[in-house]
Amino acid sequence: MKQWTIPNLKGKIALVTGSSRGGGRGIAQVLGEAGATVYVTGRSTRQSASRSDVTGTIEDTAEAVTRRGGIGIAVRCDHTVDADVASLYARIKEEQGMLDIVVNNAWGGYENYDDVDFLAPFWEQPMKRWDNMFQAGLRAQMLSSRLAMSKFFLEQKNGLIINTGVYPDIGGNYPVNVFYDTVKRAVAIMTRGMAANLQTGGIGVTVLALAPGWMRTEAVNQHYGLEPDDPDFMKVEELHPTESVAYIGRAVAALAADPVVHNKAGLLLEVGNLAAEYGFTDIDGRQIPPFRVV
């Protein structure tokens, strides 16, 4: 297999929401490695963290983007607050005058994770968890997408919107969280509807959904007693191979560089399948397949 090289995205302007940690951090860092200017947003700053149980701030990610060769710009933004999001897009307009890539990755519902078992039946789940998933997840993706269209993409007649989600039919004895599964499935339905709206000729904007596998996020690492990018991660792989947060980042970079990415409009894509299609691997050299429970 031909060795994959990071695409050249120098001159591209990207926004990655919810990128203080987790998959968003990985996406922002890889886009930086590709040379892009990346706006890094979230609620966790060095002055005020949104969660006390895991590490990661927007400043940390933005500095990592710059170290890797891009330009990282940290902007504190609560994606559940319309005024914050409008201000974010206005700032990008003022500073850059253009926008090429929007990755809607912000998410909620993991706050106070241990208060109630995440896999408890729906009648035991706190409604605050449901509200946070919709407000900070699904609604935040819609709000960001609307502003991307109205402030940039309709005028530019080009742009790429990627909504992060999950693959709905993992199979096997996969534990069910009705709240989580409902909202994540809604991401795929929303994306398909957005793409249908964009079929009008001449708009030139692509929207798609992207599902990672089992990522070694800060929360997963903490649960298993691992340091970030710890080489001893194999001990968590009893059920299925895990992947670094850079794996989804490489998928986003490959999609952003694909001249015919519009052929994927409206689809829910999986990182493992894109790795096989575009030829990239994870940081350990493995090409990890999509997550499934057998």
Residues belonging to the active site = 180
Q: To 10 degrees, what angle do helices 245-257 and 271-278 make?
A: 50
217 CB-side CA count, 13 A: 19
- The distance between the two most distant Cα atoms of the chain, rounded to a whole number of Å, is 52
Contact 13, 96 (CB under 8 A): yes
What's the rounded Cα separation, in Å, for the pair 53 and 31? 27
What's the rounded Cα separation, in Å, for the pair 245 and 24? 8
